[in-house]
Structure 1
Amino acid sequence: MRLYFLRHGLAEDPRPHLKDAERHLTSEGIAEMKRVALGIKALDLSFDVLLTSPYARALETAEILADVLHWPKERFVVEARLQPGLFDPPTLQTLVQERRPQEGLLLVGHEPTLSGNIAWLCGGNVKMKKAGLACVEVFDLQPRSGLLLWLLTPKQLCLIAKAV
């Protein structure tokens, strides 16, 4: 099974009276995410379900991707456990066990929890860029039981989109 980890796109900066969960993608973040989504589409990935954090910036990222992929609404799930501070290895294990994906899961979320889960699975440190995408082959949901197949930056995904 493969797990795909997508970090949300470029979002508004924190402001005193703006809750973190309400920070939206910037216009630049939206434009970049549309190009990134085209790159992801060109990769022709297979996954059973798209799970996204409910935070505005992650939800918008997932919606852009779902629109470009023509992703069925019944396989697009807002998952509260993907929000910052909650998405840890035990939560990842639970999500996979609940979903029992045949091909894989695409998880849209935040740093540092995405990188933390990848490190737990693969035993190495990575850092996800905004709008970056990682693919991990999972053999068993235990520490160091996965293999990081690739980690693509938004620039690389945009180049893939241009090449098609």
Structure 2
Amino acid sequence: MKTLYLMRHAQKEIDNTKDDYDIELTQEGITNTINFCKKLKEKNITIDMILTSPATRAEQTAQIIAEELNYDGIITRNEVIYKAFLNELLETLSYTYDNINSLFMVGHNPAIGTLAFKLTKLRENFEMGSIARIDFDCDSWLDINEENAKLIYFEKGI
């Protein structure tokens, strides 16, 4: 079985003077992510790998997730996730080594929400800080698809 956690970065600043890539989380976004991690801890999740967009707000979200969930591995930054199209996210997932059973991906809309919809028909708005857990009944990331995907939960950002 493979488990995918899809998360849209937490609440970001509204700053028209910065390039979109460099926009940071608000203090509210940081606090909400820390509080959200407490909920995730109650679910006893395990993470084998964190994969994130290198945009500042996504990296900050991934760092908080790693710290709060005691993830001691490397946070992998993948430029493809920033401004990705659906097929690019699916391809990125297919490159994941099969010894990784639980993958946490932090990214952006519309791609993250579109990926969740493609795999599970989830029609919820993927607001900032939202997360979906999707389990796949397969042993390889090459084999993940909507036929072996099951939405375990979806939680809107807080």
* Fold shared, TM-score > 0.5 on shorter chain: yes
Q: Deviations over 1:79-129 (max 9, x none)?
A: 212112x24234323433333244221101111111101111123433212
Distance 1:125 1:144 in 2: 17
Between the aligned residues of both structures, percent identity stands at 24
Q: Which residue of 2 aligns with 1:79?
A: 78
Q: Which residue of 1 aligns with 2:140?
A: none
TM-score, scaled to structure 1: 0.82
Q: Which residue of 1 aligns with 2:36?
A: 36
Question: What letter is aligned with 1:151?
Answer: F
Q: Which residue of 1 aligns with 2:57?
A: 57
Task: Provide closer, same or farther for how the CA distance between residues 14 and 112 of structure 1 changes in structure 2, counting only shifts above 3 A.
Answer: farther
Checking the alignment, whether the CA contact within 8 Å between 2:80 and 2:88 is kept in structure 1 is no
Task: Count the aligned residue pairs.
Answer: 152
Task: Give 3-state SS (helix, strand or coil) of 2:95's partner.
Answer: helix
* RMSD of Structure 2 on Structure 1 (CA): 1.9
C-alpha displacement at 1:14, in angstroms? 4.2
Structure (1/2) with the larger helix percentage? 1
Checking the alignment, whether the CA contact within 8 Å between 1:133 and 1:153 is kept in structure 2 is yes
Task: Give 3-state SS (helix, strand or coil) of 1:135's partner.
Answer: strand
The runs of 5 or more residues in structure 1 that have no matched partner are: 156-164
